[in-house]
Structure 1
Amino acid sequence: MPNIKSAKKRVLVTKTKAARNKALKSNLKTVVKTANAAIDTNAENKVEAVTAAIKRIDQACAKGLMHKNCAARKKSQLAVKLNKSNA
């Protein structure tokens, strides 16, 4: 345990930020999984699901939760999968 006041504060701030990042990453994974499932089952709302997933990926990238190349790769994979299912 830290003894210095600023170090104590950093522990609290880190805990708060870690919890927020964990929740956002979990939600991101859920949205992407939902989009993949919608494409696999050829659901009627698959375009909306992919659009929502891409938006959430962009938000995660903007907040620094994932690298921009990782975000681009995930968006591309979703788009390719959606286009293959439409063809």
Structure 2
Amino acid sequence: MANIKSKQKAIISNEKANIRNSAIKSSVKTAIKKAQKAAQTKDANLKTLVANAHHEIDKAVSKGVLHANNGARKASRLDAFVAKNN
């Protein structure tokens, strides 16, 4: 642990941010996987799952967890996957 008080606080806040960011990234990955599985099995609620995945990606980008280009790439690849498997 650091000796400087501001650095101690920074370490604690960084840990909190890491936990929060990990949860957001996990929800993005889960939403993408659900949408991909629905595309492969030709599920009836495919549109809602894809829309949910796009929403999760956009939310992560707006919170700064994902870079804008990274979010755009994830969304584009998901759309391409759905188009290919549908």
Does the TM-score normalized on the shorter chain lie above 0.5?
A: yes
What is the alpha-carbon root mean square deviation over aligned residues?
A: 1.3
2:10, 2:69 → 1: CA distance?
Answer: 30
The total of aligned residue pairs comes to 86
Unmatched tracts of structure 1, length 5 or more: none
Aligned partner letter, 1:73: R
2:83, 2:18 → 1: CA distance?
Answer: 36
Q: Does 1:31 align with 2:31?
A: yes
Identity %: 40
Aligned partner letter, 1:74: K
Unmatched tracts of structure 2, length 5 or more: none
Aligned partner letter, 1:20: R
Per the normalisation by structure 1, the TM-score is 0.89
1:1-87 to 2 correspondences below 5 Å: 1-86=1-86
| Greater shift in the superposed pair: 23-32 or 45-54 | 23-32
Per the normalisation by structure 2, the TM-score is 0.90
